[in-house]
């Protein structure tokens, strides 16, 4: 969330940011409502000051009226009666105005929650994903001496991905992983967690169901309401990403700067309605409603967030390189930035069977945007002013698309799939997935 002071001081900068994002937000409404709020608040403060002055005067007059019967004492009594009446009137007026202030504050916050983060100056301009810029690529797509198959054909032929039973159990965009397919997904999760822990991240296993306030604080509400699964009976919201939980670990907390940076890694199941992808290619495992993901997350001092973003990208990219799959890093343009992000990079793996680049990670610097929403603060020294840390997040990595990339890049002419060497310790020494091997794992 942007601070209201920033909107007051730099409305044109926010307006330019919205134009760069090619989006609309209630900026003018927020500015107008803020002016109303300040006007009413000024009246409240003026009336409070008058009432306090009257209260002190009533006290003096009461003591004077209690003296012997004199003309001065009688006058004090009459004056006191008038002031008591005035104080009573002010009290009723204040009560109404204070309620109006609270209502205006609530409405203003609702507007502020709908205004996205400001893109960093070095974010490229562009209306949508067509404006994204490839920063670098490692390796070239390998050449096959046969026609590579897409993962849905590979998975069904090896009997390790069951789309039909996934649909039978839960409907469209759900899959069942079987045998070596399930073990490969589990191995990927364990390997990714081990790598990030070795890089200094502290492991968290969060609940998969959170209260609604976590989604407001994390910036997922109101923007992404339609894509979040919600249990209305007990007001639980299913995680779309562990980012929401990690943001809220320190909600409403104040800590010392000496604890920064805080580096977290979390595995979680993720749930999304995927309404935004309607009409796009949804065949196979590319877009499913339940998937596993490892998330990396940082809380850092404000001046260090840009370099911290580079670290997160590097840590996620190292996993892609270790799998020895062609990888590219793409900087996201202003028109394609996520709501919370000021700057972001995507990591993509080449899938030769599907014939496309698959996003397996999106790494974002959210500056103080989320921390302000979540009321997370820190002090650099005892008694010092409160500041908001910067938050950063990145997938490290999303399992289904990594699984797709492994199956399609390591497929063999005979239909088997080699296990990447880095993953073999997590597969019980298994080096190849074959149809026969898959059968024996049932």
What does the pLDDT profile of the chain (442 residues) look like in tens digits?
A: 999 999 999 999 999 999 999 999 999 999 999 999 999 999 999 998 988 888 888 777 777 666 656 666 666 667 777 777 888 888 888 999 999 999 999 999 999 999 999 999 999 999 999 999 999 999 999 999 999 999 999 999 999 999 999 999 999 999 999 999 999 999 999 999 999 999 999 999 999 999 999 999 999 999 999 999 999 899 999 999 999 999 999 999 999 999 999 999 999 999 999 765 555 566 899 999 999 999 999 999 999 999 999 999 999 999 999 999 999 999 999 999 999 999 999 999 999 999 999 999 999 999 999 999 999 999 999 889 999 999 999 999 999 999 999 999 999 999 999 999 999 999 998 999 998 665 554 4
Query: Among residues 51, 401, 408, 416, which one is catalytic?
Result: 401
Measured between alpha carbons, how far is 242 from 11 in angstroms, rounded to an integer? 33
Residue with tokens 């012997």: 68
Please name the helix (run of DSSP H) or strand (run of DSSP E) that holds residue 337, with its range, or none: none
**Is residue 79 annotated as part of the catalytic site, yes or no?**
no
CA distance linking residue 6 with residue 410, whole number of Å: 51
Q: Catalytic: which of 20, 80, 287, 377?
A: 287
**Whole-Å CA distances, 99 to 43, 91, 311:** 13, 12, 47
Q: How many Å apart are CA 302 and CA 106, to the nearest integer?
A: 28
Looking at 50, 98, 359, 387, which residue is catalytic? 359
Residue 364 bears catalytic tag: no
Has 362 been annotated as catalytic?
yes
Q: Which of 51, 183, 272, 289 is catalytic?
A: 272
Query: Is 21 part of the annotated catalytic residue set?
Result: no
401 catalytic per annotation? yes
SS (H, E, C) 5-24: HHHHHCHHHHHHHHHHHCCC
Instruction: Point out the catalytic residue in the list 362, 364, 395, 416.
Output: 362
Total Cβ atoms within 10 A of residue 330: 21
């Amino acid at each position: 969330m942007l601070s209201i002071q920033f909107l007051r001081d730099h409305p044109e900068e926010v307006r330019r940011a919205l134009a760069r994002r090619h989006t609309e937000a209630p900026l003018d409404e927020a500015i107008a409502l803020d002016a109303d709020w300040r006007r009413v608040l000024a009246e409240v403060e003026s009336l409070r000051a008058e009432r306090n002055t009257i209260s002190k005067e009533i006290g003096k007059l009461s003591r004077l009226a209690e003296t012997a019967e004199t003309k001065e004492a009688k006058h004090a009594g009459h004056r006191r009666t008038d002031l008591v009446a005035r104080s009573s009137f002010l009290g009723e007026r204040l009560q109404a105005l204070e309620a109006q202030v609270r209502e205006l504050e609530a409405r203003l916050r609702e507007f502020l929650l709908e205004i996205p983060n400001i893109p960093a100056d070095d974010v490229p301009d562009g209306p949508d994903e067509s404006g994204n810029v490839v920063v670098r690529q490692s390796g070239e797509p390998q050449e096959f001496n046969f026609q590579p198959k897409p993962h849905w054909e590979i998975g069904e032929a090896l009997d390790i991905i069951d789309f039909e039973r996934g649909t039978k159990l839960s409907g469209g965009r759900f899959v069942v992983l079987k045998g070596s397919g399930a073990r490969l997904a589990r191995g990927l999760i364990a390997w990714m967690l081990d790598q990030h822990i070795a890089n200094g991240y502290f492991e968290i296993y969060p609940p998969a169901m959170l209260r609604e306030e976590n989604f407001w604080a994390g910036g997922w509400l109101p923007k992404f309401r339609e894509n979040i699964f919600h249990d209305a009976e007990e007001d639980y919201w299913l995680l779309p990403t562990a980012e929401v939980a990690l943001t809220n670990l320190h909600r409403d907390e104040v800590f010392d700067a000496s604890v920064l940076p805080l580096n977290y890694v979390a595995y979680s199941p993720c749930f999304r309605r995927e309404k935004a992808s309607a009409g796009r290619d949804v065949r196979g495992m590319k877009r499913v409603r339940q998937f596993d993901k490892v998330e990396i997350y940082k809380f850092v001092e404000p001046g260090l967030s840009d370099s911290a973003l580079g670290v997160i990208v590097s840590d996620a990219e190292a996993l892609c390189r270790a799998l020895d799959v062609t990888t590219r890093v793409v900087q996201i343009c202003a028109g394609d930035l996520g709501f919370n992000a000021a700057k972001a990079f995507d990591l993509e793996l080449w899938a030769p069977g599907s014939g496309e680049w698959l996003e397996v990670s999106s790494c974002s610097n959210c500056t103080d945007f989320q921390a302000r929403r979540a009321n997370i603060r820190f002090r650099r020294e005892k008694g010092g002013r409160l500041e908001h840390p910067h938050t950063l997040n990145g997938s490290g990595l999303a399992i289904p698309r990594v699984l797709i990339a492994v199956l399609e890049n390591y497929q063999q002419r005979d239909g088997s799939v080699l296990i990447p060497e880095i993953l073999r310790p997590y597969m019980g020494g298994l080096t190849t997935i074959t149809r026969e091997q898959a059968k024996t794992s049932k």
